[in-house]
Amino acid sequence: MSHLILVRHGQSEWNLQNRFTGWVDVDLTPNGKLEACKAGELIKELKLDISYYFTSYQKRAIETLNLILNTLRIKNDKVVKAWELNERHYGSLTGLNKNEMKKVYGEEKIHEFRRSWDNQPEALNKNSPYHPINIEIYKDIPKNKIPDTESLKNTYERVIPFFEKNIKSKMDKNILIAAHGNSIRALCKYLFKIDNNKISKLEIPTGNPLILKFSENKKLISGNYLDKNRAKDLLIFS
């Protein structure tokens, strides 16, 4: 049996401000750091030997993983950082307050932008300081790979090929991925075989490790959150 542990980063500064963040590189809040440390404590209780660690290019996920590894007393020299695990790009909504946008577009439309399978917001202007081409950490990503906006489907189309090429073959060992709400939603859609309509119901809480158990032939056996008090419905085996 092997385990795949998925952790959405702890609360970020823009989570706290209720802003669409996407590819903007923001820090964790003090509460987000506590969430990451608590995630580390919960993972520590499992007493698992974790062989591989993956995260995105974004510091809120990187710092979450670092805090988990510090709690586990593990040096982070094995960590693989992949832009493909970045959060979904929210296009022209980037930086805007979600509640304010509900007043503009209506609650149903904003929910559709946030949770639907293939609905993209309008593209973000390339002159915006929030556009990834203007953010230093993305300078080594080919420009034709950098999006102006994304749906969950677009996010899935970069997350899953990376997963299949770089992670799936290692799943005879225990693996930890620290990423983002939508990159983890994409992975869960793939692993749980959630259909396009149901995926809108899947919520991923910050800083709560989701542990998935796999059989020797890599068949998913079970999935559950380690912090039961903050667990969400996984839509798994339903």
| CA 50 to each of CA 1, 35, 61, 78, 116: distance values in angstroms, whole numbers, following the listed order | 13, 20, 18, 11, 33
User: CA 146, CA 149: separation in Å to the nearest integer?
Assistant: 9
The pair of three-digit structure tokens given for residue 212, joined into one six-digit string: 């998935």
User: CA 162, CA 155: separation in Å to the nearest integer?
Assistant: 11
Task: Give, for 72, the enclosing helix (H) or strand (E).
Answer: helix 59-72
Out of 87, 89, 150, 180, pick the active-site residue. 87
* Residue type for position 161: P
Q: Residue 150 in 3-state DSSP?
A: coil
- Residue identified by tokens 């520590």 is 44
Would residue 87 show up in a list of annotated catalytic residues for this protein? Answer: yes
| CA 16 to each of CA 19, 31, 88, 123: distance values in angstroms, whole numbers, following the listed order | 8, 10, 18, 24
User: CA 18, CA 98: separation in Å to the nearest integer?
Assistant: 6
Listed in sequence order, the residues at least 6 apart from 17 whose beta carbon sits closer than 8 Å to its beta carbon are: 97
Out of 3, 9, 89, 131, pick the active-site residue. 9
User: CA 81, CA 47: separation in Å to the nearest integer?
Assistant: 24
Enzyme catalytic residues: 9, 87
